[in-house]
Amino acid sequence: MSDVVHDFTADALAWRPYLAPVVLDAATPAQRDALKETPSNTKISDYVLVLAHDPESLGQRTPLFNGIMYGRGGLSRAERELGATAASVVNRCIYCVSVHAGRYISLAKQPEVIAAVFDGTEAALGARDQAIVGYATRLALNPPQATNEDVQALREAGLSDLEILDLTLSVAVFGWANRLMHPLGEAIRPKEA
Amino acid sequence: MRPNVIEQLIEAPPGSPVAQALAARAPLMQASQANYDAVLTPQDPGGLSQALRFALAARVARLGGDARLAAHYAAGGALPETDAGWQDAATTAILRHVDLIATTPRDATQADIAALQAAGVTTGDIVRLSQLIAFVSYQLRLIAGLRLMGATP
């Protein structure tokens, strides 16, 4: 369909599921319970309503995801978003990329870092960004290709073990999210307001 | 508290930097185990039996190059030889989908979901299957990173 987006962008996109979302009025008690774990009081997304077909997993996944991406201490929020974006580029989850590239840019104010991730030109970045993107990209591949040298580069760039673990968690949880969002739906241009 | 499978499979030397980092993130490791329970041993397994879930998880781990994780899952279940709840077409479609999403999720399209549906896999089971594949993909990357940070083996 003509509104489907196939190229990486940090612009806001929408997501259209391939499976029918759970209808809230018809949701089972278990589904309603799992949906309470959703992050905010905003409208429940079609993505979450599709995942509500498996309420046990949805109910456990949401707090883990939020803890990894928004938990206190350790790696900065921006750099967690950078790891998430690099993983999403590997897995070509166009919608995931748009959300997390956008968040990185709004937190770090460095659109050029995202441009380099999209182009695969991260060798031109500073040592810290380069180390983060390199590790994230290779850990996201299947099988994972990250090496001792990648971790050494992170340490030399000044990341603590806690920061490296936080980066690992963000890449890993996007190895998960990308395998839901991209196979279960597609990124589309948002309707004109 | 239930034993944490990741911490059973790898060992962070006591007092090491990786052990300290893991201790600082203990709530996330517990949440990871809660997710393991939700996708491997759910109260409502739908059309995916526990044995099938462990067999598929072993396949994802093997495709991800983690023999130790694959052995953990293989000990928990094998593909049914003659099928208990699945038509052969459904099992075949599920295995094909597992291989695609574990290895090259970037290549997935709507046609892959349609193939599962055509083989009789329900919407609920497609979501359950997706969560299973995706969770093991998460777990094996977390373990790979922990090993690089100094956990053994």
CATH label of the domain that carries residue A118: 1.20.1290.10
Query: Does residue A42 sit in the same domain as residue A59?
Result: yes
| Residue A114 domain flag | yes
A interface test, pick of B7, B22, B25 with most A CB neighbours within 10 Å: B25
Measured distance between the N- and C-terminal CA atoms of chain A, rounded to whole angstroms: 20
Which element (helix H / strand E) includes B26? helix B26-40
Size of interface A-B (CB pairs under 8 A): 169
| Residue A136 domain flag | yes
B interface test, pick of A28, A53, A148, A159 with most B CB neighbours within 10 Å: A53
- Asked if the Cβ–Cβ distance from A186 to B110 is below 8 Å, we say yes
Query: Does residue A28 sit in the same domain as residue A112?
Result: no
- Asked if the Cβ–Cβ distance from A142 to B64 is below 8 Å, we say yes
pLDDT at B4: 86
| Residue A90 domain flag | yes
- Asked if the Cβ–Cβ distance from B141 to A50 is below 8 Å, we say no
Beta strands in chain A, from DSSP E residues, in sequence order: 14-17, 185-188
- Short-list A84, A93, A68, A59, CA closest to A182: A93
pLDDT at B80: 63
**CA dist., res. A48 & res. A190, Å (int):** 18
A49: left (phi over 0), alpha (psi -120 to 50) or beta: alpha
| Residue A9 domain flag | no
Lookup result for tokens 């929408």? A14
| Residue A5 domain flag | no
Helix pair B17-24, B26-40: axis angle to 10 deg:
70
B interface test, pick of A1, A54, A97, A161 with most B CB neighbours within 10 Å: A54
> What domain range is A96 assigned to?
77-180
ipTM of predicted complex: 0.96
Measured distance between the N- and C-terminal CA atoms of chain B, rounded to whole angstroms: 24
**CA dist., res. A110 & res. A161, Å (int):** 25
Domains of chain B, residue spans: 14-149
| Residue A1 domain flag | no
**CA dist., res. A101 & res. A20, Å (int):** 28
Query: Does residue A60 sit in the same domain as residue A144?
Result: no
Query: Does residue A58 sit in the same domain as residue A85?
Result: no
> In terms of pTM, does the model score above 0.90?
yes
- Asked if the Cβ–Cβ distance from B28 to A53 is below 8 Å, we say no
For the segment A80-110, what is each residue's pLDDT rounded down to a tens digit?
999 999 999 999 999 999 999 999 999 999 9
Query: Does residue A136 sit in the same domain as residue A82?
Result: yes
Question: pLDDT per position in chain A (193 positions), as tens?
Answer: 579 999 999 999 999 999 999 998 899 999 999 998 665 556 899 999 999 999 999 999 999 999 999 999 999 999 999 999 999 999 999 999 999 999 999 999 999 999 999 999 988 999 999 999 999 999 999 999 999 999 999 999 999 999 999 999 999 999 999 999 999 999 999 986 5
Which CATH number is B14-149 given? Answer: 1.20.1290
Evaluate the CA torsion angle B52, A143, B6, A174 in order and state its sign.
negative
* Residue A183 near residue B101, CB atoms below 8 Å: yes
Name the minimum distance, in Å, from the CA of B59 to any CA of chain A. 12
- Given a cut of 70, whether residue B84 has pLDDT beyond it is no
B15 SS3 class: coil
**CA dist., res. B32 & res. B59, Å (int):** 20
Query: Does residue A113 sit in the same domain as residue A128?
Result: yes
**CA dist., res. A15 & res. A33, Å (int):** 24
| Residue A147 domain flag | yes
